[in-house]
Amino acid sequence: MADKFPAVGHKYLVDFKADDGSGGFRVQLDFHSESSMTYTGVRPDGTLSGNSETVDITVEPIRDLLFLVTWKEEQGMTVVHVEDYRDNTIITCITAPGPDPTFSKFHGTMTQTS
């Protein structure tokens, strides 16, 4: 039986790197419940940016401390996370709609901050 989703009530700093080496980004994930999370961009100096949105998430347990977390953003981007709370890692796949749709994949390390 999979564990209860451990992120609820906590914030995590995630440092993502692109699979192709083209760069990355940092984000804070603030999990309000198993159905709500706020993500906020993090600047290189560690301060939070204005890039923030609260989204409805779906959480599906895979195995102990491993979860599939998905959501759709207001602008139509879709995000899929494989969140591993045993190894403190996240794999994310992001699709962006539009005339020239994009697909990106990043690997990240996460640190619980609260």
Q: Considering just the CA atoms, what is the radius of gyration of the chain in Å?
A: 14
CATH architecture designation of domain 11-112: Beta Barrel (2.40)
CA distances from 81 to 46, 50, 99, 106 (A): 22, 22, 25, 10
Task: Sketch the domain layout of the chain as residue ranges.
Answer: 11-112
* Alpha-carbon gap, residue 13 to 27, rounded angstroms: 6
What are 14-32's pLDDT values in tens digits?
Answer: 999 997 777 899 999 999 9
Rounded mean pLDDT, 69-82: 97
Residue 50 above 90 pLDDT? no
Query: Has residue 52 got a pLDDT over 90?
Result: yes
Q: How far apart are CA 90 and CA 110, in angstroms?
A: 7
Phi first, then psi: what are they for 9, rounded to 5°? 85, 5
Strand pairing partners for 30? 11, 38
pTM as predicted? 0.93
Strands (E), 1-114: 11-18, 24-33, 36-42, 48-56, 58-63, 66-72, 78-84, 89-96, 102-112
CB proximity list for 20: less than 8 A, separation 6 or greater: none
